[in-house]
A and B are shown apart, each in its own frame.
Chain A
Amino acid sequence: MTTILKNRLFWPALILAVMLGVNAFTSNQFIAIQDGHLFGTLIDILRGSAPLILVALGMTLVIATGGIDLSVGSVMAISGAVACLLISDLDNQNSLGGVLIAIGAAILVSLAAGLWNGTLVAVVGIQPIIATLILMVAGRGLAQLFTEGQIINVQSGPYSTLASGFFLALPVALLIAAAAVALTVLLTRRTALGLLLESVGGSPTASRLAGISARRITVMVYVVAGAFAGLAGLIASADIKSADSISAGNLIELDAILAVVIGGTALIGGRFSIAGTVLGAIIIQTLKVTVVAVDIPAEANLLFKSVVVVALCLSQSPDFRAKVFGRFTSRPAAEKVGIPA
């Protein structure tokens, strides 16, 4: 029992369970089977959290190297704009081949965006927060340039499937996110990439002297973050059947950073937890739904969200837990505060 209690993810998981419980109580249909697939509030939450999971996954890797990617929301907008633009030009918007080409093109553009970020950070040497701020601002402008400032509507069955389709009784969006999670876990924990990432995040200088190509790894994580953001942009735009360059992925970078932090990955880089990030992303999405479900006035939404987030972050702090639960602790406090290294 104590090992469960001590687990870093115990408290976030508990808060999630409580919120889901509230939703189970207030919603008419929490989980059910209808038309041969799963259905209900729980499924809505999971489906809705897919874009955030994707963005937060990439963000986790970037943060593990000690960086940050503010441009993910803009990359989502670009990706959605590219896809919708290509699809709207199709003679038959329901042609699977045409949609696949559009999706492929959008992902390619997202990869290029990631490569741009990675190059600025690792090769040019600009601080990550500034380097990605450039694309955060410029990217949305680029997306608007593509769409000529219009919202591009599409009526494409195959494209909508990305967001609202079901496969094996589960939402396609959720399956895409799950596949991305599985891929990331495989990539980082089955190869040595995770170790090298954590090493670069822990100490870039020491890593270089240990023969790690920190530069290449850094570029790579930004490229992966770009690709995942692009994928998230496709799901988001497929959901509303249009490309809205202004609101697509707006402020999602903040939610993604929050998800990473809730999941226990430190912003200074080093150790990262993919499971934690996924949990964090689902918590944030659940919070959005819960706020509506328990009739919190719209103007108090953000306040409520911040209270929960503060509680979550505190629950992640060993010092705070020790104080609250009065457990004996021998953590050297000065290692974390005070003495600058």
Chain B
Amino acid sequence: MGEQSPVLEMTGIRKVFPGVVALDGVDFRLFPGEVHALMGENGAGKSTLIKTLTGVYEIDGGEIRLGGEPVRISGPLAAQQAGVSTVYQEVNLCTNLSVAENIFIGREPRRFGKIQWGKMRQRAAELLARLDLDLDVSAPLSSYSLAIQQMVAIARAIDIDARVLILDEPTSSLDTAEVAQLFRVMRRLKESGVAILFVSHFLDQIYEVSDRLTILRNGQLISEHRVDELTQVQLVEKMIGKELAALEDLEDKAQSNRERSAEAKPVLEAKGLGRTGAIAPYDLTIHEGEVVGLAGLLGSGRTELARLLFGADRADTGEVLVDGKRINLRDPQVAMKHRIAFSSENRRAEGIIGDLSVRENIILALQASRGWTRPIPRKKQDEIVDKYIKALQIRPADPERPVRNLSGGNQQKVLLARWLITEPRLLIIDEPTRGIDVGAKAEIQRLVAELSDGGMAVLFVSAELEEVLRLSHKIAVLRDRRLVEELENTADVDADRIMQTIASGATS
């Protein structure tokens, strides 16, 4: 690799936003046939660097060379023409169009100005076959899971004769098997000489698939390494710029505090609760101060189970008891009256309201429960919001900034703040740490532990087993839209034990 010249060379890249220097003299290079991970915490400048490369932002200083030639990337189209293709974290496709249309949108095969549908479908199928996917390319994209949609986005990107392929958090919504499939595709592309820029918050994945990595912090280049030269601990230290004390602290705390008082009362009981096509009827009891973790593969019904407990979807069988009394959970408002809170896994579509400010997003649920006639006085709003911006370290600490301009981790904190100010007795959080950086992840985990110590019941849904194991008192394991086992999280329970349950589908 050393003798080759880089396909992409960025030197002294500078990007300034009003009041913030987002990138300050960053160098970055990418060789053909390598997977290069871009590392850094939220707000380190990863996204900004990628956006200067994809033409979303124009650089304020520095130089970008592609294949040795200086280029000016003036827009997303120019980037594509220069051979830079991107697959973003959140799937940016039109779910109402067919798979084939999504792959070829804007570059449909034409003859005499007429789209050749047959040829388009055929080529789409061929392209997907290269990714080991066998899909009905005429079906609307919405009929496939998020993971498949992600693959379609990659198929689209690699068909544009990409010299440089940018994968921004492609694995955050994929399950293990799908990740393996993606990595196979990445390796194949790498062999064909494509340079891949890979962003992921999963360190194991970085180590599995990447050749080299570049670390950014606060808009500055920290260093570039071969992956085998650097241990994970060293990497994390460079990323967050401090010792791992914070993380390890949590580890200790979590381990020691996972015992709960025996006389804790149940907050919520679900009896035979189910919804056809979503989740088979299940029983679940959550006690005061207890963290119940939901474990299972993608599509195993974790989210579906959680949504029923908030009335986000209506159950068609079974009942829910709060404090031993049956409640009619017909919509989220009823759940909120009983002080149940739910933060969706789909941050962008079901969580934040992008146009509204951080302050407005935080007070939204509390305001909704008070009704529109009783506005929260502005002074009180500012107090609450300031308190939570400080407590959760929301960055930037500007309550009036539109929430869409915040990074994913900070948006997640805004959502947590939204629910915490309603003082829930049961907090249901679905994938709160997905797609956010190590530091913010540790903070959120610590927060969950603290809330539970304070007596709050928490239903914690996560695709990451380690996280579920670390935080939960009790773990409910799901498989094929069915709750198959409920385990006390004792010392002998580990990831292998849970994986076995998931794999075998044992019922207790």
Interface residues of chain A, those whose CB is within 8 Å of chain B, are 190-193, 195-196, 198-199, 202-203, 205-213, 217, 270-271, 330, 332-335, 338-341
Contacts and interface: CB of A to CB of B under 8 A. Distances in A.
A202 B354 contact: yes
Nearest to A200: B353
Contacts of A270: 353, 355-356
B353 A199 contact: yes
A217 B372 contact: yes
B92 interface: yes
B7 to A, nearest CB: 23
Contacts of A212: 364, 368
B93 interface: yes
A329 B63 CA distance: 19
B332 A209 contact: yes
A50 to B, nearest CB: 28
Interface of B: 16-18, 51, 55-58, 75-76, 88, 90, 92-94, 310, 312, 331-333, 336, 342, 344, 348-356, 360, 363-365, 367-376, 418
A216 B56 CA distance: 39
A191 B370 CA distance: 11
A71 to B, nearest CB: 25
A210 B364 contact: yes
B16 A330 contact: yes
A212 B336 CA distance: 10
12 contacts: A192-B375, A195-B360, A195-B363, A198-B353, A198-B355, A199-B360, A203-B350, A203-B352, A207-B364, A217-B372, A271-B355, A338-B76
Contacts of A203: 349-350, 352-354
In order of increasing CB-CB distance, the 7 nearest A-B pairs are: A202-B353, A211-B368, A192-B375, A270-B355, A212-B368, A334-B56, A193-B372
A255 to B, nearest CB: 26
B79 to A, nearest CB: 10
Nearest to B96: A340
Which one of B17, B90, B360 has the highest number of Cβ atoms from chain A below 10 Å of its Cβ?
B360
Which one of A210, A213, A330, A341 has the highest number of Cβ atoms from chain B below 10 Å of its Cβ?
A210
Contacts of B16: 330
A199 B76 contact: no
B82 to A, nearest CB: 16
Nearest to B57: A332
A330 B57 contact: yes
Nearest to A332: B56
A212 B312 CA distance: 12
A196 B367 contact: yes
Nearest to B402: A271
A207 B353 contact: yes
A333 B75 contact: yes
Nearest to B86: A339
Contact of B349 (A206, A333, A339, A340): A206
Given A192-B376, A203-B352, A208-B312, 10 more contacts: A191-B372, A192-B371, A198-B355, A199-B353, A205-B349, A211-B336, A271-B355, A330-B16, A332-B56, A332-B57
B373 A191 contact: yes
Contacts of B336: 211
Contact of A210 (B354, B365, B371, B375): B365
Nearest to A340: B94
Which one of A193, A199, A203, A209 has the highest number of Cβ atoms from chain B below 10 Å of its Cβ?
A209
Contacts of A206: 344, 349-353
Contacts of A341: 90, 92, 348
A209 B350 contact: yes
Nearest to B58: A330
Contact of B370 (A192, A207, A271, A334): A192
A217 B333 CA distance: 14
A192 B354 CA distance: 18
Contact of A332 (B51, B354, B356): B51
Nearest to B22: A330
Which one of B56, B349, B364 has the highest number of Cβ atoms from chain A below 10 Å of its Cβ?
B364
B312 A191 contact: no
Contacts of B374: 191-192
A340 B331 CA distance: 30
Nearest to A328: B60
Contact of B56 (A195, A202, A209, A333): A333
A56 B405 CA distance: 31
Nearest to A202: B353
Nearest to A187: B372
Contacts of A211: 332-333, 336, 365, 368-369
Nearest to B106: A338
A170 B232 CA distance: 76
A341 B348 CA distance: 10
A205 B367 CA distance: 17
A305 B376 CA distance: 44
Contacts of B344: 206, 209
Given A192-B370, A212-B368, A333-B56, A340 B332 contact: no
Contacts of A330: 16-18, 57-58
Nearest to B337: A211
Contacts of A209: 310, 312, 332, 342, 344, 350-351
A184 to B, nearest CB: 14
A199 B365 CA distance: 11
Nearest to B352: A206
A341 B352 CA distance: 14
Contacts of A213: 333, 368
Contacts of B372: 191-193, 196, 217
Nearest to A214: B368
Nearest to A213: B333
Contacts of B352: 203, 206
A199 B368 CA distance: 10
B57 A199 contact: no
Nearest to B371: A192
A330 B332 CA distance: 40
A193 B58 CA distance: 39
A334 B344 CA distance: 26
A199 B332 CA distance: 16
Contacts of A210: 332, 364-365, 368, 418
Contacts of B92: 339-341
A140 B472 CA distance: 63
A337 to B, nearest CB: 9
